[in-house]
Structure formats: structure tokens, C-alpha cells
Structure 1
Amino acid sequence: MIITTPQKPSPELWAYAGQLSEELGGRLVDRKQHSLTMLKKRYADDRLLVVDPSGLRYYEHSDEPLYFHPSMAYVRVKRLRKGERDPLMDISGCQQGDTVLDCTAGLGSDAIVFAYAVGKEGHVTAIESEPILCAVVRDGLKTYKTMHEDVNEAFRRIEMQCVNHRNYLQSLPDKSVDIVYFDPMFRKPVHESSALEPLRSVANADALDEETIRHAVRVARKSVVLKEHAASGEFERLGFACKHVNKIAYGVIKPT
């Protein structure tokens, strides 16, 4: 993987690119006046991470980059700011002060909503097993700014961890978090979601297994929640009761 910057990076940005190169094992390349296409051809590598002041952009076999944007999460949070309800927050039983473990962070959308809902007294840990995706989202959560400072503060409160979620769950004591949440890559993709295509190239596509769910139930005090396609058989396979159905469904397990 190539790691580069805009054509005239600041010393701070170049140093940050160097840190990411060490973290991700990429080749740090001085951009100079070269185009991204030229860099790909020169180094015979289609994987390219641009370290830009406006956020990280990752390209892989496409001209469409993967980058951080809150998208519908921001819309959902603005609804919460108005006192409206959010189905996931209701189904999970999320309240201010809760601790939440998002085991499949992806682009961080649900972690953002959880972080706003739990407030300053709560805590959200977002697990992402894929290093490039984790780096892109971690950077975005630290730097992205909306027009609402309380929303920006929610972004900054999220703790990103690059680790396998099963291993992380195994390390936790019983009843140590309030909510454990899973939003894996759907077994039956929503094909009209073309905006997710850059994500699919880097996301972990592995299905959840029963052992992971057992640890999640052991660790959670309030609920374990799974987001899946409404037609998925994952809820039945993994022991979840389906609580909300549209194109997207949520399943929940209430620990005893």
C-alpha cells in the first residue's frame, strides 16, 4: 500500500503520514507533483492512502475513495437533539451514562448515535478489526466538525480499538458493559446501497459465530443487539428475537 499526502504537505502532516506508514505497514511516498494515478503505476500498487488535512482517503481498485463522513448518523443525532426517538436506541435500552461496545464499527455511524445518546457520563468503545478502516474512521472522529459542538464532542468521546471483537469480548469480565452491538456485513447485501461499495473492499465479511454471541451475552448487562437484513436467517441461527423490521431489522437478546 502507498501512503502519500497532498503535493505541499505541512511538516506536521508529513510526520502524521509517517506514523500511519509504520502503523499500517505502507510505503511512504513523497507526492511531489505526481498524480495519484501516476503513483499507482510507478509502484504497481492500486492500494493508496492519502493523508489529507480534511481527512484520510483510501483508494483500492477504484476512483471512489473510502473516507469518513457521518452521513445518516448526523441526521439521526439531529433528531435526538430535537427530542425525537431512534429505533436502535429504544431497542437497545440505551440511556445516558451507559457503556456501549460496538463490536463492528465500520464507518462509525451507530457508534456516533450511541455516543450522543449516552452523553458525557457514558462511554462508547468501537471495535474495528480491519486496520485501514479503523485508521480512516479514527481520524475522522478526531477531526470532523459539524455545526453542533455537542455532536462534535460525541465524535471525540468514541474510543476506537483495532482488534478482533471475539478476542476483545473474551477479555472482558462478566456484566462489564451495558450494551453490546453488532452490525456485521449483511449475509444478504442491500444492493441499492452503492455508497457502501468502497467499504465492502476493506470491511471484514466474516459471519458472527455462536461463541462470540455467548461472550457478548456474558458481558452485557442490558442487551445484545444485532442489525441485519430483514430477510436474513442470522437472527434465528444466533438466537436473537427480531424486534424491528423494515428493510433493516434489529434482533435483541436480554441477558439474564
Structure 2
Amino acid sequence: MQLLITTSYDPQTEQLELAAHVTEKLQELSGLAEPVRIVSRRQFSIPQLRKRYGSQDVLLVSRERLEYYHDQQPVMFFHPSTAAIRVKRLMNGEPDTLMQLSAVMPGDRILDCTAGLGSDAIVYSFALAGNGEVTALESKALPYLLLSEGLKSYRSEIPGMDEAMRRIRVRQTDHYNYLKSLPDKSFDVVYFDPMFRRPIRESSSIGAIRDLADPRAVTPDAIAEAVRAARRCVILKEHRGSKEFDRLGFCEIHRSTTKIAYGVIRL
């Protein structure tokens, strides 16, 4: 179904320019001839636009952010989500399980192969405090756009968090193809947080992106390339009861008090 792109009421010049940029970028990334259509908002509500143009998918360029309306799902937009809570805990000297398992240290290069909306990439970037780099990969065009634009424009009230978001390098690409292109030991940590094979239904932030995200499971070949490209470790986040750890060769498993677990391959 065609995606409509529009603005908030009475758009300013910056919104119109961003709407045009987003339209061009989505056409370029999706590889389709006419996957999107930019339309004037005038005084139409989102439901009225949907009815007028026969489309359930609308990307709204508001004054604050990009908002994606899909079918009857809750509106989706970039937000640091749990990263904000985790960053505050790091500031208070509290441990973060993923950062501990990664043994993050100054100068590290981190590769997040399945970025989604970037929560873990933000925590990695904050932990490095500008001494190192985080590269985040997202294969799907719309999540990539929400993430890349959100990281550039989101404003938080947490000291150092905005700077951490701006430092993340985002690329729209398939993680397996990207890993294959890397020289040996290119990154200190290679991280995977794919769509869980067994969803956690209570997670509203994940539920909003599930229909847009790449549904494919991580392959053994991708893990093999990750092991080759990593210097310290490869980490997989999954449901604590997932069989993916065994299938993909993760023997070191750390189960939290929540419903998630981390598998680690040490190198």
C-alpha cells in the first residue's frame, strides 16, 4: 500500500524541506518507482487523509519529530525508550548488564547489527563518552529513516545523552552483507538484537516496530562472519527461553530477572 507523507498544520519551511527530503530518501532506499506520495495536509485529519487517498500508512513530519501511522497500530516515532533509564543508571554508577558483558572500554568500536530504534546503540555510545565509535545497521528503509533522523534531532534533558546520539553512525544495509565486507577483527564487539522468535507481548515499544522490522532470524553464517569480524566478543539478545542460543552456537548464556537473556561468544 502506498505511503503518504505529509506535515502538521501550517507547516514551516523546515518541515516542508524535511518532508521533501524524506520522500526522496524513502524512494531511493526502497528501490521502488513510486512507493511514497507527498500530499498537502491542509486542514485534513490523519483519518481524513487516509480516507481521501485510500492509504492506511501515513508519515507525518511534525515540528518535533517524524510520526508513522500504520493501520490501527499506535503511532510510532523515535524515542530513546529504555536507553534513557539505563543512561541515568550509568550516571549514578549503577551497572548495565550489556555494557558489563561487552567489557566496554575507551577506544572500542561497536557494531550493532540490528539497530531498530537504537536503544542499545545509544547506551553503547554514552558509555564510550566520545572515545570510540558505534555503528548501527538497520536493513529496512522506514525504521532506518526514523532512527537516523531521530538521532540527529531528538532533545533529551540528560547530560551527555544528546551528544551520544549524534555520534552514532547509522547505515541502511543488510547485516550479513556488511559483515562479509569487513576485514578480520574490525570491531571489538558485534551485537545482535533481532526480532525475538518468541515475542514479549508486553513490550509496547517493540510491538510498534515489529510490523516494519526485518522478520528474518539471524543465520549461522552471519554469526560466523561476526566471529571473524570481532576482536573481543559477539553478543546475542533474545527471549530468556529462546532456542536461538543453541542453534547459533552461544554457550555462555546470561539470563536476567526479566524475560530477556544474552548469549556471548568470547574471542
Moved more, 116-125 or 178-187: 116-125
Q: Structure 2: how far apart are the matches of 1:10 and 1:176?
A: 43
Aligned residue in 1 for 2:66? 56
TM normalised by structure 2 equals 0.93
Which string of whole-angstrom CA distances, capped at 9 and with x for unpartnered residues, describes residues 41-78 of structure 1? 11111111001121111011125111111121111011
Match among 228, 236, 241 for residue 246 of structure 2? 236
**Cα distance in structure 1, aligned partners of 2:107 and 2:84:** 20
CA RMSD of aligned residues (A): 1.1
Q: Are residues 63 and 223 of structure 1, via their aligned partners in 2, closer, same or farther at CA, if it must alter by over 3 Å?
A: closer
Q: 1:250 — aligned with what?
A: 262
The superposition leaves residues 2-59 of structure 1 with CA deviations (integer Å, 9 ceiling, x where unpaired) of 0000011111210110111111132011111111111111111111100112111101
Return the offset for 1:243.
Answer: 3.0
Amino acid at match of 1:20: V
2:13 corresponds, among 4, 11, 14, to 11
Distance in 1 (CA, whole Å) between partners of 2:156 and 2:106 is: 22
Q: Which residue of 2 aligns with 1:130?
A: 140
- Is the CA contact 2:182–2:229 (under 8 Å) kept in the aligned structure 1? yes
**Rounded Cα–Cα distance in structure 2 between residues aligned with 1:143 and 1:97:** 26
- Unmatched 5+ stretches in structure 1: none
- Residues 127-168 of structure 1, C-alpha deviation per residue, up to 9 Å, x if partnerless? 001110111111111111111231110011011111111111
Matched residue SS, 1:149: coil
Looking at structure 2, the residues matched to 137 and 51 of structure 1 have their Cα atoms a distance apart, in angstroms, of 14
Q: Which residue of 2 aligns with 1:116?
A: 126
Is the contact made by 2:88 and 2:158 (CA closer than 8 Å) also made in structure 1? no
TM-score, normalization by structure 1: 0.97
Secondary structure of the residue aligned to 1:66 is: coil
Poorly superposed stretches of 4+, deviation over 4 Å = none
Aligned partners of 2:137, 2:119: CA distance in 1, in Å? Answer: 13
CA distance in 2, matches of 1:140, 1:102: 17
TM-aligned CA deviation for residue 121 of structure 1: 1.5
Instruction: Report the 3-state secondary structure (helix = DSSP H, G, I; strand = E; otherwise coil) of the residue aligned with 2:160.
Output: helix
Match for residue 23 of structure 1?
Answer: 25
Q: Counterpart of 1:227?
A: 237
Q: Which residue among 99, 108, 112 is the counterpart of 1:102?
A: 112
How many residue pairs get aligned? The number is 255
Aligned-pair identity (%): 47
CA–CA distance in 1 between the matches of 2:254 and 2:176? 26
User: For residues 197 and 226 of structure 1, what CA distance do their matches in structure 2 show?
Assistant: 19
In the alignment, structure 1 residue 34 sits paired with structure 2 residue 44:
yes
On the 8 A contact 1:47/1:59 being kept in 2, the answer is yes
Indicate conservation of the 8 Å contact 1:46/1:61, yes or no: yes
Question: 1:97-122: per-residue Cα shift (whole Å, max 9, x none)?
Answer: 21100000011110010001112111
Q: SS at 2:150's partner residue? A: helix
In the alignment, structure 1 residue 159 sits paired with structure 2 residue 159: no
Tell me if structure 2 keeps the 8 A contact 1:17–1:28.
yes
Q: Structure 2, unaligned stretches of length 5 or more?
A: 28-35
The answer on whether the counterparts of 1:7 and 1:33 sit within 8 Å (CA) in structure 2 is yes
Cα shift readout 1:182-233 (whole Å, capped 9, x = no counterpart): 0000011112223322211111111010111111000000110000001100
Whether the 8 Å contact between 2:111 and 2:135 is mirrored in structure 1 is yes
Partner Cα separation in structure 2 for residue 98 and residue 81 of structure 1: 19
Rounded to whole Å, the distance in 2 between the matches of 1:188 and 1:129 is 21
Say whether the 8 Å CA contact 1:227–1:248 is kept in structure 2: yes
